Amino acid sequence: MKDDLKGIGTSGRAGRGNGSTSPSRAARTLAGPAAKKAAAKKATPARKSAAKKAGSGTKPTSAAQAEAATSAAAKSAATSPAKKAAKKTTKKAPAAKKPADPPRQPTVEPEETAPGPQRERHLHAVPEDEAPRQEPPREATADIDPEDVAAAFAEGARRLMGTDWQVKIVDIVGNLRRRLSGGYEVDEFGLDPEVLDLLTHLVEPLAESWFRLEVRGVENIPTDGGALLVANHSGTVPVDGLITGYAVRKHTGRPIRPLGADLVFRLPYVGQIARKMGATLACAEDAERLLTSGELAAVWPEGFKGVGKPFSERYKLQRFGRGGFVSSAMRAQVPIIPVSIVGAEEIYPLIGNIPSLARLLGLPYIPITPFFPLLGPLGLIPLPSKWIIEFGEPVRTDAYPPESADDPMLLFNVTDQVRETIQQTLYSLLVERGNPFV
């Protein structure tokens, strides 16, 4: 019995040691330590982890199980991240896109690249077939006809100076010739008839074409003898006096003698021109001398308060003073003619004033209009408003004795009568005129 059991054990050990029963184990045994080292180097981290997992379980008890574990480790090693990366790199790269053709560079002619004078010569050289074509000469413009020029000049002069423009030009040239020769005279007040004629011709285009002047009641102005014209004053710049003098001279042939403030004669050049136009100082002595000598005197009793009033108070008459003009008319026993002027308020609409600068310069006011001083000299061009001048019925003063000129109540009543006549006429003319610029 013992012999049988020993035989079985001996045969079993003999069977395991025989190469026919376990070839893989026998190969590992024959390979020795060198083969083990080579196999360990080839193992990847994944294989080690797989071996570790396999070692954590039940240890294989047979050669078949060991061989199965070895093959599983090899498969896991083959699927490791390193192997995957290697496979990705070994994949066929996609075909690269064909690069776009580079932009063609303009070909440079050999003569342009030639250095120095040779290049300059080639640049200026133009082939015969590329020579610029010469345009045919243009037809010469027709010569200007002198008759057309003369006709255009005559038409412009007729519009500016009227139908008798030729006579006026002859008078102007004749007056200038006499002025240069010194053959002219002035009266005791400084009136120069030739300068007055020249200014009348110059004012005519402004009055007739620009202001479209309309004159009414000329028959109320006496053809001879003295008279006192009393008018409203407005316009920021006293253009109304200039236009009134032009209207009287045109329709009656008589010059007026304006009575101006002393400031007018203190201004350079302005005072000299005013004297030559026939103006004199607004004082009782000069006024009585003019009226008694049979002249047409003119006065604007509102003074600078009327001409410098704001646009919001247009056509509202200011105070007419103390009645000095009525006193002079009574002493001279001449009629008083109320004059109403519509249109002057709109030429320079006064919207502001600079009183401090005005006091510094010694002026009554420094006007500010919508265009001055914003536009500079262009702001001095008056707006083209429609003008109407109406000469009212005369107020007789010869019904009162000359001594009545010292009665203040009588002077006040006559002054108020003249003022109310002018004010009511202004209102009616404004309604009749309508829009001043249309």
> What is the mean predicted confidence (pLDDT) over 275-288?
91
Residue 15 domain flag = no
Q: How many Å is the maximal CA-CA distance in the chain? A: 195
**Residue 210: what pLDDT?**
95
What confidence category does residue 347 fall into, taking pLDDT thresholds of 50, 70 and 90?
A: very high
| Spatial distance between the Cα atoms of 328 and 333, rounded to a whole number of angstroms | 8
What confidence category does residue 114 fall into, taking pLDDT thresholds of 50, 70 and 90?
A: very low
What six digits make up the tokens of 339?
């004059």
Evaluate if residue 1 carries a pLDDT over 50. no
**Residue 249: what pLDDT?**
94
Evaluate if residue 234 carries a pLDDT over 80. yes
* Nearest one of 282, 414, 404 to 331, comparing CA atoms: 404
Residue 13 domain flag = no
pLDDT for 409-422, tens place per residue?
999 999 999 999 99
Evaluate if residue 272 carries a pLDDT over 80. yes
**Residue 361: what pLDDT?**
86
| Spatial distance between the Cα atoms of 373 and 391, rounded to a whole number of angstroms | 35
What confidence category does residue 98 fall into, taking pLDDT thresholds of 50, 70 and 90?
A: low
CATH of the domain at 302: 3.40.1130.10
Evaluate if residue 165 carries a pLDDT over 90. no
> What is the mean predicted confidence (pLDDT) over 195-203?
88
Among the ranges given (68-82, 377-391, 416-430), the one the predictor scored with the smallest mean pLDDT: 68-82
Are 281 and 262 spatial neighbours (Cβ–Cβ below 8 Å)? yes
Evaluate if residue 93 carries a pLDDT over 70. no
User: Which structural domain, as residue segments, surrounds residue 323?
Assistant: 185-207+214-347+382-432
Are 326 and 411 spatial neighbours (Cβ–Cβ below 8 Å)? yes
Among the ranges given (4-8, 114-118, 331-335, 380-384), the one the predictor scored with the smallest mean pLDDT: 4-8
Give the residue, 177 or 133, on which the prediction is more confident.
Answer: 177
Evaluate if residue 386 carries a pLDDT over 50. yes
Please name the residue ranges forming H helices in 18-130.
23-42, 45-56, 63-78, 81-90, 116-124
Give the residue, 271 or 179, on which the prediction is more confident.
Answer: 271
pLDDT for 45-83, tens place per residue?
445 454 444 444 444 444 555 555 555 555 554 445 444
Residue 333 domain flag = yes
Hey, which of 33-47, 84-98, 133-147, 309-323 has the most confident mean pLDDT?
309-323
Contacts of 223 (CB under 8 A, 6+ apart): 252, 254
Residue 246 domain flag = yes
Mean pLDDT of the chain: 76
Number of structural domains the chain divides into: 1
Please name the residue ranges forming H helices in 79-208.
81-90, 116-124, 146-161, 165-181, 193-205
Residue 390 domain flag = yes
pLDDT for 9-54, tens place per residue?
444 443 444 444 444 444 444 344 454 555 555 444 445 454 444 4
pLDDT for 289-314, tens place per residue?
999 999 999 999 998 888 989 999 99
**Residue 160: what pLDDT?**
65
**Residue 30: what pLDDT?**
39
Residue 396 domain flag = yes
Residue 331 domain flag = yes
Residue 149 domain flag = no
What confidence category does residue 171 fall into, taking pLDDT thresholds of 50, 70 and 90?
A: confident
